[in-house]
Amino acid sequence: MTKNKLKEVAMRLFGEKGYDGTALSEIAKEVGVKTPAIYAFYASKEDLFMTAFREAMEAYNAFTHELTEEKQELSTRESLYRILVRQCEFYEKSPELNRFALRSLLFPASFLKETIEQAFLESDKMLTKAIEDRIVQGIENGSLKDRPVEMLVDSFLNLTDGLSMEYFYYSSKELYMRKLNNAFEMYWNGACSS
Protein backbone atom coordinates (compact mmCIF):
# COMPACT_ATOMS: atom_id res chain seq x y z
CA MET A 1 0.00 0.00 0.00
CA THR A 2 2.70 2.49 1.00
CA LYS A 3 4.84 1.50 -1.98
CA ASN A 4 2.01 2.21 -4.42
CA LYS A 5 1.06 5.43 -2.66
CA LEU A 6 4.68 6.61 -2.87
CA LYS A 7 4.70 5.88 -6.59
CA GLU A 8 1.36 7.66 -7.18
CA VAL A 9 2.41 10.77 -5.27
CA ALA A 10 5.83 10.74 -6.93
CA MET A 11 4.23 10.49 -10.37
CA ARG A 12 2.00 13.47 -9.66
CA LEU A 13 4.78 15.62 -8.18
CA PHE A 14 7.30 14.68 -10.88
CA GLY A 15 4.60 15.56 -13.43
CA GLU A 16 4.01 18.96 -11.81
CA LYS A 17 7.58 19.92 -10.87
CA GLY A 18 9.89 17.65 -12.84
CA TYR A 19 12.60 15.38 -11.51
CA ASP A 20 14.91 18.12 -10.26
CA GLY A 21 12.08 20.15 -8.71
CA THR A 22 10.73 17.28 -6.61
CA ALA A 23 12.38 16.32 -3.32
CA LEU A 24 11.97 12.90 -1.74
CA SER A 25 11.00 14.67 1.47
CA GLU A 26 7.98 16.22 -0.31
CA ILE A 27 6.85 12.81 -1.50
CA ALA A 28 7.32 11.26 1.94
CA LYS A 29 5.49 14.11 3.68
CA GLU A 30 2.48 13.84 1.40
CA VAL A 31 2.30 10.06 1.90
CA GLY A 32 2.67 10.49 5.67
CA VAL A 33 6.00 8.72 6.16
CA LYS A 34 9.52 9.83 6.97
CA THR A 35 11.91 10.21 4.05
CA PRO A 36 14.08 7.20 5.03
CA ALA A 37 10.97 4.97 4.73
CA ILE A 38 11.12 5.44 0.95
CA TYR A 39 14.34 3.43 0.87
CA ALA A 40 12.49 0.36 2.12
CA PHE A 41 10.78 0.28 -1.27
CA TYR A 42 13.02 2.19 -3.68
CA ALA A 43 16.82 2.27 -3.82
CA SER A 44 16.94 5.97 -4.74
CA LYS A 45 15.03 8.90 -6.14
CA GLU A 46 16.10 7.73 -9.60
CA ASP A 47 14.71 4.25 -8.89
CA LEU A 48 11.37 5.71 -7.78
CA PHE A 49 11.24 7.97 -10.84
CA MET A 50 12.11 5.18 -13.28
CA THR A 51 9.59 2.81 -11.67
CA ALA A 52 6.90 5.44 -12.17
CA PHE A 53 8.11 6.18 -15.70
CA ARG A 54 8.11 2.51 -16.70
CA GLU A 55 4.55 2.18 -15.38
CA ALA A 56 3.48 5.22 -17.41
CA MET A 57 5.07 3.79 -20.55
CA GLU A 58 3.50 0.36 -19.89
CA ALA A 59 0.08 2.01 -19.66
CA TYR A 60 0.69 3.84 -22.93
CA ASN A 61 1.98 0.66 -24.57
CA ALA A 62 -1.15 -1.20 -23.44
CA PHE A 63 -3.27 1.58 -24.95
CA THR A 64 -1.28 1.37 -28.20
CA HIS A 65 -1.53 -2.41 -28.24
CA GLU A 66 -5.31 -2.09 -27.99
CA LEU A 67 -5.21 0.14 -31.08
CA THR A 68 -3.26 -2.46 -33.03
CA GLU A 69 -5.64 -5.22 -31.94
CA GLU A 70 -8.83 -3.36 -32.83
CA LYS A 71 -10.60 -4.85 -35.79
CA GLN A 72 -10.26 -2.58 -38.75
CA GLU A 73 -13.89 -2.83 -39.81
CA LEU A 74 -14.21 0.95 -39.78
CA SER A 75 -13.44 3.03 -42.83
CA THR A 76 -9.91 4.44 -42.96
CA ARG A 77 -11.24 7.88 -42.08
CA GLU A 78 -13.20 6.56 -39.08
CA SER A 79 -10.28 4.41 -37.97
CA LEU A 80 -7.77 7.28 -38.00
CA TYR A 81 -10.23 9.61 -36.31
CA ARG A 82 -10.86 6.95 -33.67
CA ILE A 83 -7.14 6.91 -32.81
CA LEU A 84 -7.32 10.62 -31.93
CA VAL A 85 -10.50 10.18 -29.88
CA ARG A 86 -9.05 7.15 -28.09
CA GLN A 87 -5.93 9.17 -27.27
CA CYS A 88 -8.14 11.83 -25.66
CA GLU A 89 -10.00 9.13 -23.69
CA PHE A 90 -6.65 7.73 -22.51
CA TYR A 91 -5.60 11.17 -21.25
CA GLU A 92 -8.94 11.67 -19.48
CA LYS A 93 -8.63 8.30 -17.76
CA SER A 94 -5.17 8.98 -16.30
CA PRO A 95 -4.31 12.68 -16.48
CA GLU A 96 -1.56 12.60 -13.83
CA LEU A 97 0.15 9.61 -15.41
CA ASN A 98 0.05 11.29 -18.81
CA ARG A 99 1.24 14.67 -17.52
CA PHE A 100 4.15 12.89 -15.85
CA ALA A 101 5.04 10.96 -19.02
CA LEU A 102 4.77 14.03 -21.23
CA ARG A 103 6.90 16.19 -18.94
CA SER A 104 9.47 13.39 -18.61
CA LEU A 105 9.73 13.05 -22.39
CA LEU A 106 9.92 16.78 -23.06
CA PHE A 107 12.17 17.75 -20.16
CA PRO A 108 14.09 14.67 -19.02
CA ALA A 109 16.66 14.87 -16.28
CA SER A 110 19.96 14.89 -18.17
CA PHE A 111 21.25 11.64 -16.69
CA LEU A 112 17.96 9.87 -17.58
CA LYS A 113 17.64 11.29 -21.09
CA GLU A 114 18.96 8.23 -22.94
CA THR A 115 16.90 5.75 -20.90
CA ILE A 116 13.74 7.80 -21.40
CA GLU A 117 14.36 8.19 -25.13
CA GLN A 118 14.78 4.42 -25.54
CA ALA A 119 11.53 3.74 -23.70
CA PHE A 120 9.76 6.32 -25.87
CA LEU A 121 11.12 4.88 -29.11
CA GLU A 122 9.68 1.46 -28.25
CA SER A 123 6.24 2.99 -27.72
CA ASP A 124 6.60 5.11 -30.83
CA LYS A 125 7.28 2.01 -32.96
CA MET A 126 4.04 0.42 -31.78
CA LEU A 127 1.95 3.52 -32.45
CA THR A 128 3.61 4.06 -35.82
CA LYS A 129 2.75 0.49 -36.81
CA ALA A 130 -0.91 0.92 -35.80
CA ILE A 131 -1.19 4.11 -37.88
CA GLU A 132 0.77 2.66 -40.79
CA ASP A 133 -1.57 -0.34 -41.01
CA ARG A 134 -4.57 1.93 -41.32
CA ILE A 135 -2.90 4.18 -43.88
CA VAL A 136 -1.80 1.25 -46.04
CA GLN A 137 -5.37 -0.01 -45.89
CA GLY A 138 -6.59 3.43 -46.99
CA ILE A 139 -4.18 3.58 -49.93
CA GLU A 140 -5.17 0.06 -50.98
CA ASN A 141 -8.90 0.80 -50.85
CA GLY A 142 -8.48 4.16 -52.60
CA SER A 143 -9.62 6.42 -49.79
CA LEU A 144 -6.12 7.92 -49.38
CA LYS A 145 -3.89 9.34 -52.09
CA ASP A 146 -1.14 7.07 -53.30
CA ARG A 147 1.65 8.91 -51.56
CA PRO A 148 4.64 7.64 -49.64
CA VAL A 149 3.30 5.87 -46.54
CA GLU A 150 6.03 7.41 -44.40
CA MET A 151 4.82 10.93 -45.31
CA LEU A 152 1.23 10.16 -44.34
CA VAL A 153 2.28 8.39 -41.12
CA ASP A 154 4.67 11.13 -40.04
CA SER A 155 2.04 13.80 -40.69
CA PHE A 156 -0.50 11.91 -38.62
CA LEU A 157 2.00 11.39 -35.80
CA ASN A 158 2.66 15.14 -35.79
CA LEU A 159 -1.09 15.63 -35.47
CA THR A 160 -1.26 13.26 -32.48
CA ASP A 161 1.75 14.94 -30.86
CA GLY A 162 0.27 18.42 -31.27
CA LEU A 163 -3.07 17.30 -29.88
CA SER A 164 -1.27 15.67 -26.94
CA MET A 165 0.17 19.03 -26.00
CA GLU A 166 -3.14 20.82 -26.51
CA TYR A 167 -4.96 18.38 -24.26
CA PHE A 168 -3.00 19.76 -21.32
CA TYR A 169 -3.40 23.41 -22.43
CA TYR A 170 -7.17 23.56 -22.45
CA SER A 171 -9.48 22.76 -19.56
CA SER A 172 -12.55 22.83 -21.82
CA LYS A 173 -13.22 19.48 -23.47
CA GLU A 174 -15.50 21.24 -25.95
CA LEU A 175 -12.64 23.50 -27.07
CA TYR A 176 -10.21 20.59 -27.24
CA MET A 177 -12.63 18.51 -29.34
CA ARG A 178 -13.16 21.45 -31.69
CA LYS A 179 -9.41 21.66 -32.21
CA LEU A 180 -9.15 17.89 -32.65
CA ASN A 181 -11.95 17.87 -35.24
CA ASN A 182 -10.56 20.82 -37.17
CA ALA A 183 -7.03 19.44 -37.19
CA PHE A 184 -8.25 16.04 -38.34
CA GLU A 185 -10.35 17.58 -41.13
CA MET A 186 -7.30 19.43 -42.44
CA TYR A 187 -5.22 16.25 -42.30
CA TRP A 188 -7.89 14.20 -44.00
CA ASN A 189 -8.56 16.77 -46.74
CA GLY A 190 -4.86 16.79 -47.58
CA ALA A 191 -4.50 13.01 -47.48
CA CYS A 192 -7.71 11.71 -49.03
CA SER A 193 -8.00 10.87 -52.68
CA SER A 194 -11.26 12.64 -53.47
Mean pLDDT by 10 residues, the chain (194 residues): 90 93 95 94 94 88 78 83 90 88 88 86 87 92 93 95 88 92 95 76
pLDDT at 34: 94
Q: First CA to last CA across the chain, in angstroms?
A: 56
- What is the pLDDT at residue 29? 95
Which residue pairs, CB below 8 angstroms and at least 24 apart, start in 127-132?
Answer: 127/64, 127/67, 127/157, 127/160, 128/153, 128/157, 129/68, 130/64, 130/67, 130/68, 130/83, 131/80, 131/83, 131/156, 131/157
pLDDT at 72: 64
- The pLDDT score that the predictor gives to residue 71 is 63
Question: pTM here?
Answer: 0.82
pLDDT at 108: 87
| CATH pick for 52-191 out of 1.10.3720.10, 3.30.300.180, 1.10.357.10, 3.30.70.980 | 1.10.357.10
> What pLDDT is stored for residue 194 in this prediction?
63
Structure confidence at residue 16 (pLDDT): 92
**pLDDT value at position 122?**
83
